A and B are shown apart, each in its own frame.
Chain A
Amino acid sequence: MTRLLQIVLLMAVSVPSWAETLTVVIENIETAEGYIMLRVMHGKGEFKGEREALTSIKQRAIKGPMTFSVSNLPAGEYAIQVMHDENDNGKLDSNFIGIPSEPWAFSNNATGSMGPPAWDDMKFQLSGSITQSIQLNH
């Protein structure tokens, strides 16, 4: 019994903590058309597309602010990509010259120059509970 308790205690110490909570508030959804899509990326590799994002959320859009919460996440470096797929075609539409024609945003409200923002501009440390307030770029 004592040995079993020792093993359980050891496991508790060695397993990383999956106890962090990320709350994302999308502040300015202008129409209730289509879906809000969030990509929660844990580490730069997920941003680069080297592996799947840790989690993705797709939810019917509601006009006004929408709040998303993801719990039991491991602590570490994160970034979020948001898009409002207004016409529900599953992608971020862009116009003839490549300017997105649907609302989009990144964590820290980062914007890029001639493309998406750099990882360093969108990344944040998740530890405990964190709220990211994000403004969609229309």
Chain B
Amino acid sequence: MESNRRQFLKTTAAGLAMAAFSPLIKAGDPANGKAAIGEDSWAKAFQQSLEANPWLSGYKTASQNQYGGTAKIQGRWPKALTGTLYRNGPAQHEIGGVRYHHYFDGDGMLHAYRFSAEGVKHQAKIVETRKYKMEQEAGRVMYPTFGTMPNNPSPVTSPDLMNVANISVLPHHGKLMALWEAGSPWEVDAESLDTVGRYSFSSEMEGVPFAAHPRVEPDGTLWNFGYLSSANLLVLWHIDANGKMVKAGKISSDPISMPHDFVVTRKHIVLMMPPLNYQKSNELTPFLDNHKWEPDQATRILVVDKNDFSQYRWLELPSQWVFHFGNAWEDEAGVIRFDGARAEDPSIMTQHFRSLMRGEKLPSHPTFHHQYRIDTNNWTISEAPLLASDVHSEFPVIDPRVSTKQYHRIVMMTSRSSSPAIHGNLNEVSSFDFESGKLSTYRYPDTQIPEEHLFIPSPDSALETEGWVVGTAHDWQDQTTVLNVFDISAVEAGPIAVATLPYSMPLGLHGKFVQS
């Protein structure tokens, strides 16, 4: 007993010194907070605006915590297109009548669109994170979110207390995980969509931030990063096809900003750090408001050796904001090429997705698709537009079989500055062919707001030219969600098959397809 006591004294003292945890936000009175909920006028403002702008219905809170139904199919569903499209996105935007102040705050809802000989069946359930369960019980928002500070917030002593598992989904080594921006993966049963719980790749990595866009090589090798901007810390993950940790790394740099996506080549990891820099604040402000856009600073590019995370270097580009990249590859001469949707600043996140929640639409800088080139022989970087100057782009995806390798096609959501949709969102799906430079585009009717579309390769072909483009759209006129299938080689011809749900789902973010 005495030795236990001595051990306790020794180890707790060590714990005090060593456990450099970082409570992101302290508890207290948010009177000085910039985006404290206070009296919630946002739900009312949104409701009023919805009546005048019915397309806003895609941003309504989900009225149920689970859905299920069978889609009505029109057209010819391709026989070989069988499997499950999993999608994730913020869905519960309001708790106890209080509406979040940012689109990225809502609790995630995971969807499964199952394609089989029997047709298309849809199922969706809220991811029951720790935060969700506690707040459901309390009937109110307890913890700060990405963009909202609730009244009387509980202290956030680890990133997972803010984790709403609402950005993307990762099928890997037989597990299905709902991913957030900067916390742990949340495991969900792939069949029932019931929440299993917080997932850890190893005990040492439990609770370490794992970003929403891991890159998976064709052999199943997984790479990811995570960040804790309040500690100027970037974490790198290397996981094998069986889900075992191979290695992890830490890179400290002042500042580590808010990277959202990254790319991987056969030799390198490339991250972009736009100058959206963390500012330590004594005020109670939401995570997003603790970051300041500093356009006079460069956007820093971090290039890391995949084999040795201690080997890296920084390059610079003019200030810019990129949410999403398509892919990257590195040729034999050591030249890296990658593509991304580039904006002048992060106003889409800092303003647009905030104002949407009160039913207002503030303009944001459009995104233009760029190709980036890094020569690893002399460590120079350059960028150039990939598409015509009137084409805006986002949500670039590729054939997953060419991830980290040379690729010939990008599927992306686009719009034209000359003919915007009534709802102002991206309203086209396009397929870009590098060789011909041709962009094949289908424009959605203005009554539908399309979400991310995926490139699903044909299981009968190894070519990037055969397969389908599959994606969902919110039909605000009919109040349905439609799922469209396009032939990858003739996107401009419109969908070859349409599956329509008997209800509509809140607009979401990212998905992955699992072939059956």
Contacts and interface: CB of A to CB of B under 8 A. Distances in A.
A138 B156 CA distance: 10
B228 A97 contact: yes
B242 interface: no
Contact of A56 (B9, B26, B159, B203): B9
A58 B12 CA distance: 12
Interface stretch (B16-24, B141-149, B386-394): B16-24
Contact of B9 (A52, A83, A98, A99): A52
B23 A111 contact: yes
B401 to A, nearest CB: 32
Given A49-B16, A94-B18, A116-B16, 7 more contacts: A92-B15, A99-B19, A100-B158, A101-B207, A111-B27, A114-B22, A138-B130
27 contacts: A37-B8, A39-B12, A49-B13, A56-B9, A58-B5, A92-B19, A93-B203, A94-B18, A95-B206, A95-B207, A95-B208, A96-B250, A98-B21, A98-B22, A99-B19, A99-B158, A99-B159, A104-B15, A109-B155, A111-B157, A112-B23, A113-B22, A113-B26, A114-B22, A114-B231, A115-B20, A137-B157
A99 B204 contact: no
Contacts of B5: 56, 58
B246 interface: no
B21 A115 contact: yes
Interface of B: 4-5, 7-9, 11-23, 26-27, 130, 155, 157-159, 203-209, 228, 230-231, 233, 235, 248, 250
B203 A97 contact: no
Contacts of A93: 203
A21 interface: no
A99 B22 contact: yes
A58 B4 contact: yes
Residue of B15, B203, B205 with most chain A CB atoms under a 10 A cut-off: B15
A111 B19 CA distance: 12
User: Which bucket holds chain A's interface residue count?
Assistant: 20 to 34
Contacts of B155: 109, 111, 137
A100 B157 CA distance: 9
Contacts of B22: 98-99, 113-114
A102 B130 CA distance: 15
A53 interface: yes
Interface string A74-97: 000000010100000011111111
A111 B132 CA distance: 22
Given A113-B26, A116-B16, A96 B248 contact: yes
Interface string A20-50: 0000000000000000010100000001010
Given A92-B15, A95-B208, A96-B248, A101 B203 contact: yes
B21 A90 contact: no
Given A96-B250, A98-B21, A90 B4 contact: yes
B7 A90 contact: yes
Contacts, number: 101
A101 B208 CA distance: 10
Nearest to B209: A97
Contacts of B203: 93, 101
B19 A96 contact: no
A97 B11 contact: no
A47 B207 CA distance: 27
Contacts of B18: 94, 98
Given A99-B207, A111-B157, A137-B157, A94 B19 contact: yes
In the A-B complex, the 6 residue pairs with the closest CB atoms? A92-B15, A91-B11, A98-B20, A137-B157, A99-B21, A49-B13
A82 B203 CA distance: 22
A100 B19 contact: yes
A37 B14 CA distance: 14
A81 B20 contact: no
Contacts of B204: 95-96
Given A101-B203, A116-B19, A90 B8 contact: yes
Given A49-B16, A113-B22, A113-B23, A97 B9 contact: no
A116 B17 CA distance: 8
A76 B155 CA distance: 28
B11 A100 contact: no
A90 B3 CA distance: 11
A96 B249 CA distance: 9
Contacts of A58: 4-5, 8
A100 B204 CA distance: 10
A92 B12 contact: yes
Contacts of A109: 27, 155
Contact of A97 (B26, B27, B250): B250
Identify which of A39, A53, A97 gathers the most chain B CB atoms within 10 Å of its CB.
A97
A91 B12 CA distance: 6
B19 to A, nearest CB: 5
A39 B20 CA distance: 19
A113 to B, nearest CB: 6
B149 to A, nearest CB: 16
A68 B16 CA distance: 22
Given A53-B9, A99-B158, A94 B235 contact: no
Contacts of B158: 99-100, 137
- Give the most central of A98, A99, A111, A137: most B CB within 10 Å: A99
Contact of B205 (A95, A98, A137): A95
A28 to B, nearest CB: 11
Contacts of A56: 5, 8-9
A92 to B, nearest CB: 4
A94 B157 CA distance: 13
Contacts of A90: 4, 7-8, 11
Interface string A125-138: 00000000000011
A111 B12 contact: no
